[in-house]
Structure 1
Amino acid sequence: MQSTKIFFHYIVNALYRPKRIFQVIKNAFLDLKFGGKYLGVSLQNFDEKKGYINTGSSEYSCLEILFSKVNISESDVIVDLGCGKGRVINWFLNKNIKNRILGIEVHPEIADFTRNRLKKYKQVEIMTGCVGEDIRLIEQGTIFYLYHPFRERLMKIFSDQLLTLINTKMSHGKARPLIVYHNSCYLPIFENNPKWEIQKLGRIGEHESAIIYPNQEI
């Protein structure tokens, strides 16, 4: 009932932006297809001081554009870093992508919700934890999706963790690990490190975005 009320609230708001209403309906359709819940509502983050951003949901239309730039191979393990309620995972499932998909979420209640919602999909695993505290959470990943999940300090730690995995030969080949960074607020962390290559995608939806991968010449 609460999800229905929220959905109609978004529909009413979208009436003031006619182009937006079609996107809201499409988002709701795919949300409901996988787990019967509308996911387009931001949740307050009670760990802001620790560097985490409020839990939000990516737009399916943006994911379509972002991942059209990425060649996903059969061996790739896809990680949604800060997966929240799992809309990005919905998108992969709807595309019938068979790869293993890991969602990492720091908030136990949200992680439990998403884990329960997607429990019938055996290729999906939702893990609870903080990337800044445990490198093991990301060591299996080859493609990472980030929708502005945390502040600058944690982004720097994440970058350093990936470089550590590369240096210990735990990365998985050329142009891996690859990061799809939507709402790329802290892109300078990667731009200022010659060990990373940056492909700027410009504005996708409402946010600047980029693809990041290791510099093969270093």
Structure 2
Amino acid sequence: MRTKQSLFAEDERRDIAACGRSLACSRPAARSAEGAHEPTPTPYFVLDELFSHLAFDEGSRLLDVGCGTGRVLAYFASRGFSGAAVGVELDGDLVTRASSWIGRFPQLSVRCANVLDEPLGAYTHIYLFNPFDTPVLARFLDKIEEEIAHPVTVIHMSDNGERYAYAGRPGWSIERQGAFQWFEGVQVFGYPQTYTIWSYSGRAALSALDNDKKILD
């Protein structure tokens, strides 16, 4: 009979197949920034669903915010996605663990940093698994709007209550949304974990729209 423990054991087997070691976090992370949450590796069945409808090409650049030991990076590489993936993590020990295996994958990198201090202009996809409180999320969304000129896809997992931080922001639209709680008859989460995949048109498109409106006026 399948259990939650057997599902997590299967996740570890997929970790080992992808990068040669388990990427489960065995202890709480040291999070120094106010509003930051402890990292939790995303279960593979969630990643399979979230990423199944996304397209990556050679120009794609994925940012995993609060990457922990790097499961999303490992998933990106194991699926053979084109482009590059970058993880940003506050906990230096977790960055060391992630850095210990990504060297064999030239398209992957990880940095020990606060994402609010990182330049965002190059990214086409951003993944969030509830990395920080809503006020920090609002600052992060402001930063996206200030720095990213082109269209960008934001995959926000476990955004329970936080999706309202996106509401009313010009240029943002929902591509897909749903929730996870059970997988193949096993209750993985204590309550439904909602997700939303957002599309942001980018600063350049909004500027062009503003200019068109001024001409019409």
Give TM-score, length-normalised by structure 1: 0.79
Quote the residue 1:210 is aligned against: 196
Quote the residue 1:31 is aligned against: 15
Quote the residue 1:109 is aligned against: 93
CA 48–105 in structure 1, closer or farther in 2 if over 3 Å, else same? closer
Tell me if the contact between 2:65 and 2:127 (Cα under 8 Å) persists in the aligned partners: yes
Quote the residue 2:25 is aligned against: 41
Q: CA deviation at 1:83?
A: 0.6
Quote the residue 2:130 is aligned against: 148
* Structure 2 residue corresponding to 1:78, chosen from 13, 37, 62: 62
Count of aligned pairs between the two proteins? 193
* Structure 2 residue corresponding to 1:182, chosen from 150, 154, 157: 157
Structure 1 residues 23-47: Cα deviation after superposition (integer angstroms, max 9, x where no partner)? 2232111111244332233532433
Which amino acid in structure 1 is aligned with residue 165 of structure 2?
A: I
Is residue 54 of structure 1 aligned with residue 42 of structure 2?
Answer: no
Unaligned 5+ segments in structure 2 are 182-188, 210-217
Percent identical: 20
Higher RCO structure, 1 or 2 (CA under 8 Å, sep 6+): 2
Tell me if the contact between 1:34 and 1:118 (Cα under 8 Å) persists in the aligned partners: no
Give TM-score, length-normalised by structure 2: 0.80
- Over the aligned positions, Cα root-mean-square deviation in angstroms equals 2.1
State which drifts further: 20-29 or 87-96: 20-29
CA 49–129 in structure 1, closer or farther in 2 if over 3 Å, else same? closer
CA 32–39 in structure 1, closer or farther in 2 if over 3 Å, else same? same
Unaligned 5+ segments in structure 1 are 1-14
Tell me if the contact between 1:42 and 1:55 (Cα under 8 Å) persists in the aligned partners: no
